[in-house]
Structure 1
Amino acid sequence: MNNWQLHQAVRILHQGGVLAYPTEAVWGLGCDPWNADAVRHILRIKRRPEHKGLILVAANMEQLHPLLAPLTQQERERIAATWPGPNTWLIPDPQGFVPTWVKGHHASVAVRVSDHPLVQRLCSAWGRPLISTSANPASYPPARDRLRVMTYFGSKLDLVVHGQTGGYSQPSTIRSLHDSYIIRP
């Protein structure tokens, strides 16, 4: 992604648009998590129920500070040992930092600090976390290339960022912070 494309992506995010972009293993859909209309657009085109919740992806731990600050030092160290990388943690959100349209019917929120250079550049330029959910309609396999993204969603997206996935074979592992239980291997 060149600088012009990065500028376009950030402009679209500010306007409430939806992007498709490559992540560690699959293509993702993203938008401003605090824009209810943008998040609900993603849920509509994916045919995903709001109650399931979505993942937030960040460039670094600083972007997730409001969620990480209330954790114990030991919890932060356990998370930091797996980031950046394809590891998503379910973290409590007792102070309501993340809107319900992102968390779904959960008291926790799924968060990841990506090690994908494009995702890091995008989140850094945006200045905060983005929604990151696999680019596929419910019950379809996740898109692993740009062509599949276009086949699934076409004109329903505001921008499909140029780039390649990070080479991992599986989407991020999802763990519960409470007990390190693996929800998705």
Structure 2
Amino acid sequence: MEKEIQKAIKVLKQGGLILYPTDTVWGIGCDATNEEAIRKIYKLKQREDRKALICLVADNRMLKKYVKQIPLAAQNIIDITDKPTTIIYDEAQNLAPNLIAEDNTIGIRIPDDDFCYWLSRKFNGGIVATSANISGQPTPKSYKEIAPEVLKGVDYVVNLHREKRCVKTSSIIKLSNNGIVKIIRA
């Protein structure tokens, strides 16, 4: 795993795209602070750049780097949930402008997955995570289902968990600083 983390980090630092197994599905990733790399993801996915992408971070310390004010409910949700949960936060900061939604929010998940944790921790930053498919196409449930144009469009494919079948997507919850909680996807 260490060797794959180092290879992926090298590509991330050079502004490249990686294809990697996340805590949910196979994802396309890049440095969450690199505007040009995020542009490459939108182009590869043939996706409107107004549709938000999410970001994975290793832990709460890293979360604080990217969100100005973390609602108290966020930690409770992170602690009690038994399913991968992406939380949409108000007042995103220190991220590429084209990763932040028009309303200044950002979707961030702290994955319960060793590879994703160590990748983010050793990279020392947030990593974009968006499903490894062309926009409008089904999300691949395994590595074998990833379209050839996606495989060819990234700079590095992580050589781990290729046999694993991913059937879960994350829950998405919007936590506004004014206390409003909205379930986007259960």
Q: For this structure pair, what is the TM-score category when the shorter chain's length is used for normalisation?
A: 0.7 to 0.9
CA distance in 1, matches of 2:32, 2:159: 22
Q: Which runs of 5+ in 1 are unaligned?
A: none
- CA 1:164–1:33 in structure 2 vs 1: closer, same or farther (change >3 Å)? same
Structure 1 residue 128: Cα displacement: 1.2
Structure 1 residue 141: Cα displacement: 1.1
Deviations 1:92-130 (A, max 9, x none): 116x33332001323210000001221112111211110
CA distance in 1, matches of 2:149, 2:62: 30
Structure with bigger helix share is 1
Q: Which runs of 5+ in 2 are unaligned?
A: none
Percent identity between matched residues is 25
Tell me the residue number matched to 1:126: 123
CA distance in 2, matches of 1:102, 1:68: 13
Q: Are 2:133 and 1:136 equivalent residues in the alignment?
A: yes
The two structures have a TM-score, normalised by structure 1, of: 0.87
- CA 1:82–1:98 in structure 2 vs 1: closer, same or farther (change >3 Å)? farther
- CA 1:33–1:83 in structure 2 vs 1: closer, same or farther (change >3 Å)? farther
Tell me the residue number matched to 1:180: 181
CA distance in 2, matches of 1:83, 1:61: 15
CA distance in 2, matches of 1:66, 1:88: 17
Deviations 1:152-174 (A, max 9, x none): 41221111112238766321011
The 10-residue stretch of structure 1 (16-25 or 76-85) with the greater mean CA deviation from structure 2: 76-85
Tell me the residue number matched to 2:78: 80
Q: Counterpart of 1:37 in 2: which secondary structure?
A: helix
Could you list the structure 1 runs, at least 4 aligned residues long, displaced by more than 4 angstroms after superposition: 82-85, 165-168
